[in-house]
Amino acid sequence: MLNVTGKGQAHTCDGITRRDFLQVGTLGAIGLSLPELMAAKAQGAVAKDHDQRSVIMIFNLGAPSQLDLFDMKPDASEEIRGPFKPIHTNVSGIDISEILPLHAKHADKFSLVRSCFHTAAAVHDTGHQMLQTGRLFTGGINSPHVGCALAYLRGRRSDLPAHVILPEPMGPTGGNLPHGQDAGFLGKAFDPFALMADPSQPNFKVPDLLPPEQIGEARLERRRKLRTIVDETVSNFEASDNAKLLDSNFEAAFRMMTSPEARAAFDLSQEPEKVRERYGKNRFGQCCLLSRRLIEAGVRFVTVNTFLTVFNEITWDIHGSSPFTSIEGMKNIVAPMYDQAYSALLEDLSERGMLENTLVCNLAEFGRTPRVNPAGGRDHWPQCWTSYFAGGGVQGGRVVGRSDAIGGVPAERPVDPGEVVATIYHSLGLDLETKLPGPQGRPFTLVDSGKHEIHELF
């Protein structure tokens, strides 16, 4: 995700610019200095018994309809209940939609929170921010994605980044606001590593695992000893804290690019074809498979964007007319793809003994309107929707909260975005009062004061 594009250029004695080096491997997301890690430990931020926990965040960009998937109202009138019927799951008392039959076989592994809500504007971007950072972008303060805060507090486990986004960061969704998928006030050094490729393509490769052609191995090795080759005109900058951070980031990127383990983690060709087919040979399915491989290889946090935009693409954004999606498009394209990949991921993690230490959270920016609109779709509705969680200490087969008779507002146990994010931090064993260094020296806690995890899940 890091793409350093500053105008200033500092040339080394062999003609390579600092900018050239900074563009190798999207450098900044892959390291944590020893002093920072020690400071975090001094704060008590690292709970040893939870340090092996990881997270896969599946973000359902576009926002699935709670009424057509997870919180059906079969006794409501037709314009509310929609066209789909509920089916029983493998947990008595929990029914979900007939268009998620594979989910129904794994309800004992996940738990639903049917009473999520927020009070901000009903636009995609604000929900993206709040559900991934716990806060709304206000006053020019951009809070860090929970995975970036984890990278800051605990660093990386291996040559791989601490936080990876698959397949790439969110694109335009209409609000022209930050989506909450970067490190915000923590700085670009803790931005996630973004794949920027489609792993379902036959020629899939990770560009940032290979040095640019114009920078050979010999020059990369010389860059590791930057202090001996940098021109005197930039010597003052080279002595600065920023330069030291950039050097540290280069070291991390160099390690990743030259690490057989890192390359192997991204190499889906090592998976049996039967496994790849089980996940689905599409972008989302292969991203879910890749997320398992990355967690297995030591990545702490993987964010999987189900979709990248809501425009001119079949997504969860079922307004019913172009350039958006119809309910039929959700039924025939989106739901089957999603159902297949998610169920494969839960099965895979469970069979490998990884689910207990891997929190899989399925989030969205809001829900959909209780009533079907004239185009046969549903519109934005932040007043109530469903999120769900599996693994990472979460007890499966539960339902937290309840919506009213039309799925319009929480009737019991309302849950706001701060509590959702607090639940992720809790699974990771992080103290919610841990301080992060905010702008102008103002410290920020991981979540706002008074926010707690959804304790009923554990």
Question: Domain segments of the chain: what residues?
Answer: 44-208+268-457
Nearest to 298 by CA among 56, 50, 54, 57: 54
- One-character DSSP codes across 47-72: -GGGTT-EEEEEE-TT---HHHHTS-
Alpha carbon distance 301, 163 (integer Å): 5
For the four alpha carbons of 216, 221, 226 and 230, in that order, the dihedral sign comes to: negative
Averaged pLDDT for residues 302-310: 97
- pLDDT tier for residue 255 given thresholds of 50, 70 and 90: confident
Q: Contact 66/407 with Cβ under 8 angstroms?
A: yes
pLDDT score at 211: 56
Better pLDDT: 4 or 52 = 52
pLDDT score at 301: 98
Nearest to 438 by CA among 170, 162, 140: 140
pLDDT 10s digits, 66-80:
999 999 999 999 999
Helix-helix angle 124-133:417-427, to 10 degrees: 30
pLDDT 10s digits, 373-416:
999 999 999 999 999 999 999 999 999 999 999 999 999 999 99
**pLDDT score of 354 more than 70:** yes
- pLDDT tier for residue 242 given thresholds of 50, 70 and 90: low
Averaged pLDDT for residues 273-287: 98
Percent of the chain exceeding pLDDT 70 equals 80
Task: Find out if CATH 3.90.1530.10 is the number for domain 44-208+268-457.
Answer: no
pLDDT score at 249: 63
pLDDT score at 289: 98
Alpha carbon distance 145, 424 (integer Å): 11
Q: Is 312 exposed, middle or buried (0-12, 13-18, 19+ CB in 10 A)?
A: exposed
pLDDT score at 257: 77
**pLDDT score of 109 more than 60:** yes
Worst-scoring range by mean pLDDT, 4-8, 43-47, 97-101?
A: 4-8
pLDDT score at 136: 96
Alpha carbon distance 243, 299 (integer Å): 26
pLDDT 10s digits, 138-152:
999 999 999 999 999
Alpha carbon distance 184, 439 (integer Å): 10
Percent of the chain exceeding pLDDT 90 equals 74
pLDDT score at 209: 77
What three-state secondary structure class fits 322?
coil
Averaged pLDDT for residues 359-365: 98
Please give the mean pLDDT across all residues of the chain: 86
Q: For residue 380, which phi and psi values (nearest 5 degrees)?
A: -65, 140
Residue 194 makes CB contacts below 8 A (sequence gap 6+) with 1, 26, 164, 165, 168, 169
pLDDT score at 50: 80
pLDDT 10s digits, 177-227:
999 999 999 999 999 999 999 999 999 988 777 655 544 555 556 555 554
**pLDDT score of 22 more than 50:** no
Alpha carbon distance 339, 447 (integer Å): 31
CA angle 418, 422, 423 (to 5 degrees): 120
Residue 355, both tokens:
């689910």
Rounded to whole angstroms, what are the CA distances from 273 to 205, 269, 276, 373?
17, 8, 5, 42
Q: Contact 303/168 with Cβ under 8 angstroms?
A: no
Averaged pLDDT for residues 361-367: 98
